[in-house]
A and B are shown apart, each in its own frame.
Chain A
Amino acid sequence: MKNKRMKIARVECDMTQEQLADAVGVTRQTIGLIESGNYNPSISLCIEICKALNKTLDDLFWTEDLK
């Protein structure tokens, strides 16, 4: 499932995928795969992404279906 919230948060911070990748220490392709829903990041990577985008885990990674 695509992670549109992460993409929106990234765009709001005016960051490219490459800039976010550099900020969290992964490759641009990994950020792309996370946003397209084709890679499940570890919890520590999720936390790094949230820190870089100034959001919480709930904001970016909580799935509505689990509620």
Chain B
Amino acid sequence: MEIKKMLFNKKKPADERIQKRTNEITAKVFPIIFSLALASFLIKIGCRLPFTVYLLEIITLVIGALVWIVEELRFGTFLVKNKDDALKELSDKAKTQSFMAMFWIVIIGELLYICLIDKAYYMWVISYFVIWLPCALYITILTIKEGLLIFGSKKVENNTKKNLALRTFIGSLFFGAFVGFNSYFHDGAFDPSGLKAVLLLAAGWGIPFYLLFVGFMKIAEKSADKKLKKVD
């Protein structure tokens, strides 16, 4: 029952200060991910590669642009030149939503690409790392440095760690099952001895991810407290 609550309960609204600043940071990265996806598309067209090799870029760019325009129209901020603070906040929110859509399309599309593409074009998967990795690194480093990726209180820290552990456990099992597919399913048959490999892969990804994430949050918490001491 508690596990169900942890996975499916509606999240409390985020701290408005952190949400605002995170949206500002992500909004700055939105043109970068768009440009990287566009550059990847143009390079692949220039190299006269088959349509399937750059299909993901087309989907990413079209959906990214659509989400951005629709959200800006919804907020009434589309092409507004002199934005006051409130309009800028809404515009940042629209760009953040578009960025997140593009980011997840590239991440999931990359996995599908690896499974479905002709082995001759495998190496082009690097283009997707180039699209999402710099953006993810920039956002992660800045949110830690500015003290935004924080727990905020002891109570939230305990709940967050439990939640994170559960989600990491489930995610790492999926990871292990996906990456280690050939170890438990080969020659059209299920091989239970291959499940050991799945568990090892899951642990190999899940444990470092959990420890790293919690570590980052502790660093961000110290950074946030340091900033607070400076202004006090």
* CB contact list, A22-67 vs B, under 8 A: 22, 25-30, 32-33, 36, 38-39, 41-42, 45
CB-contact partner of B152 in A28, A36, A39, under 8 A: A28
| A22 surroundings in chain B (CB, below 8 A) | 153, 155-156
| B225 surroundings in chain A (CB, below 8 A) | 29
Interface residues on B, range: 20 to 34
Interface residues of B (CB under 8 A from A): 12-13, 15-18, 147, 150-156, 224-225, 227-228, 231-232
A29→B150 contact, CB < 8 A: yes
B15→A30 contact, CB < 8 A: yes
**Assembly CA distance A29 to B156 (angstroms):** 13
> Is A21 among interface residues, defined by CB-CB distance under 8 A?
yes
> Is A14 among interface residues, defined by CB-CB distance under 8 A?
no
| A38 surroundings in chain B (CB, below 8 A) | 231
Inter-chain CB contacts under 8 Å: number = 51
Interface residues on A, range: 10 to 19
Min CB distance, A34 to chain B, in Å? 9
| B12 surroundings in chain A (CB, below 8 A) | 25
A29→B224 contact, CB < 8 A: yes
By beta carbon, the residue of chain B nearest A2 is: B232
Instruction: Known contacts A26-B16, A27-B15; decide if A33 and B228 are in contact (CB<8 Å).
Output: yes
By beta carbon, the residue of chain A nearest B232 is: A36
A33→B15 contact, CB < 8 A: no
B232→A29 contact, CB < 8 A: no
| A21 surroundings in chain B (CB, below 8 A) | 152-153
By beta carbon, the residue of chain A nearest B228 is: A32
A25→B15 contact, CB < 8 A: yes
B153→A18 contact, CB < 8 A: yes
